[in-house]
Chains A and B, each alone.
Chain A
Amino acid sequence: MIERLVTPVAIVGGGIVGASAALALRRMGLAVVLLERDFCGSRSSGVNYGGVRRQGRPMAQLPLAERAHRIWARLPELIGIDGEYVRSGHLKLARSEEDLASLEAYRERAREHGLDLEIVAGHAFRARYPWLGQRALAGSLSPEDGHANPRLVSPAFARAAARLGADVREQTRVDEVAHDGRDFVLRCGDRLEVRARFLLNCAGAWAGAIAERFGEPVPMTSGHPNMAVTEPLPLFMDVNIGVEGGGIYGRQVARGNCVIGGGQGYGLDAERARPAREAIFALLVQAAELFPELRHAHVIRSWSGTEGYLPDRDPVIGFSTTTPGLVHAFGFAGAGFQIGPAVGEVLAELVRDGATPTPIAAFSITRFTGAERAAQPAAAAPR
């Protein structure tokens, strides 16, 4: 027999975005059902690199990233674990004068948004980071950025939401969504039907199908960042490393393993991804060059994930223009882990208040659909 649920808010997707929305809604006292196809936090949110950084983001994302920064500081209080979150600092490296110039230019713009960055160069740079290879010439340090363990953090958001009363359904795939003029009707096989006034589309790289279903197709593609981890090594890398222009990033966890990422893997099927051998080789070459300590280390595991990318590399966050009560949050372009918790709060505010104090206009879906403005929310949500 089919189980039927009626709820003010249904969320599709239990990644860090959907789960933190569920948590924020529960903290506001709103009832919510979260539907996750696999296990919460087992996709992008649980397999990502674990970088928790504001530095390097487009300016439009900085207010959201600042908001997230404050949430990350309260992690134990919010989700019950520290998730191995450390504010190690994030150092973005320059490998050329041009790189350095663009880091300096970024610093000027970021300052207007309250993000203070420090350029470290020359002698001071070598003295402070003696473990970096000679290719690195200088860097831009964001002292309060850092990293965390996504395997622990993302599932914990869902568990925290469940503890506060969210109805979290794992291994429950939403197969059909419709709007009957009043409510959304979601079907999960012949097991479950959920009716909801609000629908939060937090389905990650798979969110495009839901947007399209409601007449808002977006040009989203899937990407598969390549990741690898070494055996535990003596601690040397005391800051999360990125590189201007990309190519490689690295961090060392307290246990000693170095997590490195760079290049693209490939999709095994619609849901699973693998690292690509050429990309792994390229990554290892760069790793040995940038982190000489790794030259004698072994990689013990590699992996990838499936992430949604929109052409401008900004996400879609906000109300649908076609369907009242539908709210999108997807397309985080390999950078949604840090801002995820803030996006969750924003989504909860959109449901409760129809608006959010955090500027999100830049992320409207209308930039792809050409529609004029967002549809008004459904009637204020019942408490």
Chain B
Amino acid sequence: MTASIRPVVVGAGPAGVRAAQTLVAAGLRPVVVDEAPAWGGQIYRQQPPGFTRPKRALYGFEVTRAKAVHAAMAAIRDRVDYRPHTLVWNAEGERLDLLSDGRAATLTYTHLILATGATDRVLPFPGWTTPGVYTLGGAQVALKFQGCGIGRRVAFLGTGPLLYLVAYQYARAGAAVAAVLDTAPFTAKLQAAPGMLRLPAVFAKGLWYLAWLKARGIPVRSGVRPLQVEGEARATGLLWREGTRERRVACDAVAFGYGLRSETQLADLLGCRFAFDALDRAYLPVRDAAGRTSVPHVYVAGDGAGVMGADAAERAGERAALALLQDIGTAVDGARALHLERELGRIQGFRRALERAFPVPADWAANVPDDLVICRCEEVRAGELRAATREAGAREMNRLKALTRVGMGRCQGRMCGTAAAEILAQACDTAPEAVGRLRGQPPVKPLPVALARHVEPEEVGR
């Protein structure tokens, strides 16, 4: 009966690996597609062949989990059809369009688990396009993947757990950490502490990073507002405001970010219903507790379904796979499914507390100067977005895009969409949810014109 089932998992991070493992355990042979050269996802990203740093150094506290996820995938390696280096650039009608080494292929599925992860939430500030400025996630990838830092003396800015984690990882790797600048006030963390105690271990880890950084004399500040990256050809310093005082550090690189945002384009292209999620301040695919979307046989799991972190992702991946199995009439361990849902609920509670501890600066949009570039692909400035609202009556994201080009460039709004929505909402004096979301358009990422010469016939069978 399972012979006609052809499950595909997109993403080989914690969610995708656990999903695949669960499917394999039930006797299915899923296709696992991932853009990266090796499994592990963003958080447990593996270093390229030839790099030999120990996993302990790469993953720190997470080393046990990283090893477990890597091992889980290694163990099922010959029972899955694994396609690394493969981008899904389009999805429609039970078919995925793939791009791998410049070749195009089509992959059909009967059931699809989207575990596509997240990227940094970017809120630009003056000087953010200066060479040497990276997102926190980007800075971490450089370190984890290739063992190189983004600079010798790095300032860390923004908010969220990643802020402290990446600063810690850089310091451990031998970089000078110029400062760790959190835009959230310290009081927010105190208020959130009771909620964070739902996951005492995670909470303790956060405190530990903080203490570690402070113990090494690294300036750690709360309630800051970034003012400017100094430097032309390369960052030379970072200016910020603290209360009424202006401060500065010298640095040759800046890593910044404000939490994460889900990668949801494939769910969008497949027509999944979306709803605004107040916690993530973003439109997300509507899903049930198991990860079923509004489109039959399409499931979402992990950060791509709403940002909950790696531990949640593992559980969500497994839960989504169980849902798939339930939907094809395979008996599953109901108690296990329920247990996973409960765990996810608990992590969700912790997530709420995290959001209170690391709130996105509420005054960001209001304080953005008109000449600040918001969309760097298309060089669209905040003032142009505001003018389109004022003069052309734009009150909706796709309209704003049509009139200003914001989100029309290489990234298709993946980087600038959040910021543009915040600015539009502020300019219209409304909530971000009222301005809607950018419609997904294929390709999900840039597609080489030359690829067409390598079109493979549609794949069937295993």
Closest chain B residue to A39, Cβ basis:
B399
Tell which of A230, A285, A301 has the most Cβ of chain B within 10 Å. A301
Provided the pairs A42-B399, A277-B92, A281-B455 are in contact, do residues A297 and B449 lie with their beta carbons within 8 angstroms?
yes
Show 20 residue pairs from A and B whose CB-CB distance is below 8 angstroms, ordered by the A residue: A151-B402, A152-B403, A155-B392, A159-B392, A159-B393, A274-B442, A275-B442, A277-B90, A281-B455, A282-B452, A284-B451, A284-B452, A285-B452, A287-B449, A294-B449, A296-B450, A297-B449, A299-B448, A300-B409, A303-B441
Q: Is the CB of A288 within 8 A of B452?
A: yes
Q: Is the CB of A288 within 8 A of B106?
A: no
Near A by CB (< 8 A), chain B positions 379-405 give: 392-393, 396, 398-399, 402-403
The minimal Cβ–Cβ distance linking B5 to chain A, given in whole angstroms, is 24
Indicate which residue in A39, A46, A159, A302 contacts B396 across the interface (CB closer than 8 Å).
Answer: A39
List the 10 closest pairs (A to B, CB-CB), nearest first. Answer: A298-B446, A284-B452, A151-B402, A281-B452, A299-B447, A285-B452, A294-B449, A297-B449, A300-B446, A284-B449
Q: Is the CB of B455 within 8 A of A295?
A: no
Q: Is the CB of B106 within 8 A of A277?
A: yes
The minimal Cβ–Cβ distance linking B94 to chain A, given in whole angstroms, is 13
Cα–Cα distance between A73 and B46 once the two chains are bound (Å): 59
Near A by CB (< 8 A), chain B positions 431-451 give: 441-443, 446-451
Q: Interface size of B by Cβ–Cβ distance < 8 Å?
A: 31
Q: Is the CB of A300 within 8 A of B410?
A: yes
Q: Is the CB of A42 within 8 A of B402?
A: yes
**A118 close to chain B: CB less than 8 A:** no
Closest chain A residue to B269, Cβ basis:
A274
The minimal Cβ–Cβ distance linking B412 to chain A, given in whole angstroms, is 6
Near A by CB (< 8 A), chain B positions 57-113 give: 90, 92, 95, 97, 104, 106
Q: Interface size of A by Cβ–Cβ distance < 8 Å?
A: 31
B97 neighbours in A (Cβ, 8 Å): 277
Q: Is the CB of A301 within 8 A of B90?
A: no
Cα–Cα distance between A315 and B449 once the two chains are bound (Å): 35
**B453 close to chain A: CB less than 8 A:** yes
Indicate which residue in B398, B408, B448, B449 contacts A301 across the interface (CB closer than 8 Å).
Answer: B408
Cα–Cα distance between A255 and B446 once the two chains are bound (Å): 17
Closest chain B residue to A151, Cβ basis:
B402
Provided the pairs A159-B392, A277-B90, A277-B106 are in contact, do residues A299 and B399 lie with their beta carbons within 8 angstroms?
no
Cα–Cα distance between A230 and B455 once the two chains are bound (Å): 19
**A231 close to chain B: CB less than 8 A:** yes
Cα–Cα distance between A274 and B399 once the two chains are bound (Å): 18
Closest chain B residue to A294, Cβ basis:
B449
Indicate which residue in A42, A281, A294, A301 contacts B441 across the interface (CB closer than 8 Å).
Answer: A301
Near B by CB (< 8 A), chain A positions 254-289 give: 255, 268, 274-275, 277, 280-282, 284-285, 287-288
Q: Is the CB of A295 within 8 A of B442?
A: no
A285 neighbours in B (Cβ, 8 Å): 452-453
Closest chain A residue to B451, Cβ basis:
A284
The minimal Cβ–Cβ distance linking A42 to chain B, given in whole angstroms, is 7
Cα–Cα distance between A155 and B392 once the two chains are bound (Å): 9
The minimal Cβ–Cβ distance linking A228 to chain B, given in whole angstroms, is 9
Q: Is the CB of B443 within 8 A of A299?
A: yes
The minimal Cβ–Cβ distance linking B89 to chain A, given in whole angstroms, is 10
